[in-house]
Chain A
């Protein structure tokens, strides 16, 4: 074989060899540079997190935190709930202001209406409750604020509203096998003593008949809502 052909052979053998070495080496250098942070990295993907909607203002967050802490939810992770006296003290606001906190939740909340002196959920109540609870999306807390109308004694109404809150929780526990239930659901029972609902709430989702929306009707209820706030 002539020297010329040998040179051609070596040259052609060198082409893929040099190219392979160069390209792989170059990729290795880029990799090392990225590792050293010399090159701008791709923006990291967002991390999965609970929802935090715009209505979660400072006041709502403050009350939410106080209610959750004072009513035993955040520490123990077990539902205990707040009685009217506790609710009044942790909210440190008037009943009207307390209710106003929930106004931005008109699309997320519902009012489960009970019969007079009853804590039983009828099929309409169960249906609305199920729909609202299933529509959790990214919310972290489900508030159940039970009330009673002013007929009867304060003590009786306090007990009745507690039964209504408990009835809602029992239904959720029975219908949804949610292991986080006790960390999510916060119960407040207000009896007739604090933050009675005004007729402004009649336009919200309710389980009661449309015409049954006098103050006494709408307060024989449990106001339920997912709260899309992170604490």
Chain B
């Protein structure tokens, strides 16, 4: 094999790996872009790029968690949804594929240098993959198949680039190489090219973005925010904007919303008070069935803690409820007393209060607060100084819309 031919197989593998990475990153970006219409969509969460998964499919849950997490994009407070990190990943893979093809056509010293640059650059997606993989495992506790596809493609590309580099370096120099002029600054040119690839994609994304500012604060207002019936439960001691969160302690969407709010660092800009609205027909006449069995009992426990019926605080009950949501709901499906037993066991100081006439009546007042304010039968809902955060903006658009709402209200001090 001549010196010009060395490493060609590895380069070919590298290009194919980059194209596969490009495909995975493209599907991920497509899924993200779909959500820019503020609606809910199925995800293409599969090792076969392009294969759709329903949202209720267990395998899609990891992709859903990852997509909605604050780590899936950057600049979320400035741009609705932010710039998905899969977009620069697309540009990166396209760029690396180009550099791989470019390497095939290079000769002599320039080929050696280009191979070294390619090897160095191919480490970028691997580093990004390691960082994102750690975040997925440690922070999100979720595995996203598309992301794993990207990690795998990055690794294969990196290994192939390394092998190609070694093969090219080991190949003997020919006479042409000795006579060839010294190559230019290949590394700098490559970095500039990479910047160009990424910038073009990001600019295209920004140019096509609709104006989301016109939706902020347009989803209705509460007639008043007075807590005449003393039904609200303070969730923090912050001095931020007065906010009312209508929520159900056993509702997965409420838990996810709470975590997104904290992850985005926006909870500290709010002084949140909860109005309990369990979606459980044991106490809530507005729902036909128990969507979250046991939620009435857990809500009573929160209200009992708020009323100082024990040493437990409302937040301790809420944290426990968020952690044990699935367990409580499953146990309460066929045994209406299960939630009460679980609450009593975990918070014995509240046992006498939970289930009492007083607790039942206080929870009923909380539900009637919802009636008096004609709010939708859905959880969670967040009202910032009386203005509702649009339900379409509680996931990807949370940072942008809530920041916009807070800025308009002139509140939300940190």
Tell me the A residues contacting B by CB distance below 8 Å. 1-2, 4-5, 8-9, 12-28, 30-32, 34, 42, 44-51, 130-131, 133-138, 175-180, 228
B368 in complex: contacting residue of A9, A30, A180, CB < 8 Å = A180
Query: Is B208 within 8 A of A21, CB to CB?
Result: yes
Chain B residues closer than 8 Å to A30, beta-carbon distance: 37, 39
Indicate whether A19 sits within 8 Å of B229 (C-beta atoms), given known contacts A46-B377, A136-B361: no
Chain B residues closer than 8 Å to A44, beta-carbon distance: 376
With A9-B98, A16-B26, A180-B368 given, name 19 new contacts (CB 8 A).
A9-B193, A13-B95, A16-B94, A17-B203, A19-B29, A20-B29, A20-B87, A20-B201, A23-B29, A24-B204, A27-B33, A27-B34, A28-B210, A32-B210, A45-B377, A46-B376, A47-B377, A48-B377, A178-B229
Query: Is B105 within 8 A of A2, CB to CB?
Result: yes
In order of increasing CB-CB distance, the 4 nearest A-B pairs are: A138-B285, A134-B357, A23-B33, A27-B36
A134: nearest chain-B partner, CB-CB: B357
Chain B residues closer than 8 Å to A133, beta-carbon distance: 357, 361
Give the Cβ gap from A37 to chain B, nearest Cβ, in Å: 14
Interface residues of B in 91-118 (CB under 8 A from A): 91, 94-95, 97-98, 101-102, 105
Give the Cβ gap from A110 to chain B, nearest Cβ, in Å: 13
Cα A5 to Cα B38 in complex, Å, equals: 40
Query: Is B375 within 8 A of A47, CB to CB?
Result: yes
Query: Is A15 within 8 A of B94, CB to CB?
Result: yes
Cα A34 to Cα B38 in complex, Å, equals: 10
Query: Is B36 within 8 A of A31, CB to CB?
Result: yes
Query: Is B102 within 8 A of A9, CB to CB?
Result: yes
Range class of the B interface residue count = 35 or more
| B101, B209, B361, B373 interface centre (most CB from chain A within 10 Å) | B361
Give the Cβ gap from A84 to chain B, nearest Cβ, in Å: 31
Give the Cβ gap from B162 to chain A, nearest Cβ, in Å: 22
For B347-391 the 0/1 string (1 means CB < 8 A from A) is: 000000000011011001101101101111110000000000000
Query: Is A21 within 8 A of B205, CB to CB?
Result: yes
B90 interface hit (Cβ, 8 Å)? yes
A49 in complex: contacting residue of B95, B360, B364, B371, CB < 8 Å = B371
Query: Is B37 within 8 A of A27, CB to CB?
Result: yes
Tell me the B residues contacting A by CB distance below 8 Å. 22, 26, 29-30, 33-39, 87, 90-91, 94-95, 97-98, 101-102, 105, 193, 196-197, 200-205, 207-210, 228-230, 283, 285-286, 357-358, 360-361, 364-365, 367-368, 370-371, 373-378
Indicate whether A20 sits within 8 Å of B205 (C-beta atoms), given known contacts A45-B376, A138-B286: yes
Query: Is B368 within 8 A of A28, CB to CB?
Result: no
A23 in complex: contacting residue of B34, B193, B200, B286, CB < 8 Å = B34
A9: nearest chain-B partner, CB-CB: B98
Chain A residues closer than 8 Å to B210, beta-carbon distance: 27-28, 31-32
Chain B residues closer than 8 Å to A9, beta-carbon distance: 98, 102, 193
Chain A residues closer than 8 Å to B39, beta-carbon distance: 30, 34, 42
B33 in complex: contacting residue of A2, A20, A178, A180, CB < 8 Å = A20
14 sample A-B contacts, Cβ–Cβ < 8 Å, listed by A number: A4-B105, A13-B197, A20-B90, A20-B205, A21-B208, A24-B204, A28-B208, A47-B374, A50-B368, A130-B357, A134-B358, A134-B360, A175-B358, A179-B229
B374 in complex: contacting residue of A19, A23, A48, CB < 8 Å = A48
